């Protein structure tokens, strides 16, 4: 399912025009991205949590040059589904 499919489905089920739904979906995604960029987690009860995880520093190998490189500690976005959501998907 794509963003366009989501917008179409919401517009159809609510009766709100697609343009308004698209703006709302875009603003929601922008809010989540901005919160994560600022180090804040986003919790949606019954759906899940968008969280910021910290990956620790590690050593890796560049096989083509046969050298060792160090990948510094960095943060990545992650999604942790709610228990209710997981149970619904497992069925």
- pLDDT value, residue 55: 94
Q: Mean pLDDT of all residues in the chain?
A: 95
Specify whether 89 is located in the same domain as 49. Answer: yes
Do 73 and 63 belong together in one domain? yes
Helix (H/G/I), strand (E/B), else coil: 42: strand
Asked whether residue 91 carries a pLDDT value surpassing 90, the answer given is no
- For residues 64 and 85, membership in a common domain is answered with yes
Mean pLDDT in residue range 67-89: 94
Q: Report the domain count for the chain.
A: 2
The answer to whether residues 56 and 30 belong to one domain is: no
The residue segments making up the domain with residue 21 are 1-39
- Are 31 and 54 within one domain? no
Beta strand pairing call for 42-44 and 74-81: unpaired
* Per-residue pLDDT tens digits for 25-59: 999 999 999 999 999 999 999 999 999 999 999 99
pLDDT of residue 19: 96
| Model confidence at 6: pLDDT above 90 | yes
């Amino acid at each position: 399912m794509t963003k366009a499919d989501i917008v179409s489905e919401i517009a159809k089920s609510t009766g709100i025009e697609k343009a308004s739904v698209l703006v709302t979906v875009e603003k929601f995604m922008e809010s989540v991205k901005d919160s994560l960029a600022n180090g804040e987690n986003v919790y949606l009860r019954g759906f899940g949590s968008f969280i910021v995880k910290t990956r620790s520093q590690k050593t890796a190998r560049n096989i083509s040059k046969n050298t060792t490189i160090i990948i510094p500690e960095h943060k990545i976005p992650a999604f942790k589904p709610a228990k209710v959501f997981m149970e619904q998907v497992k069925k």
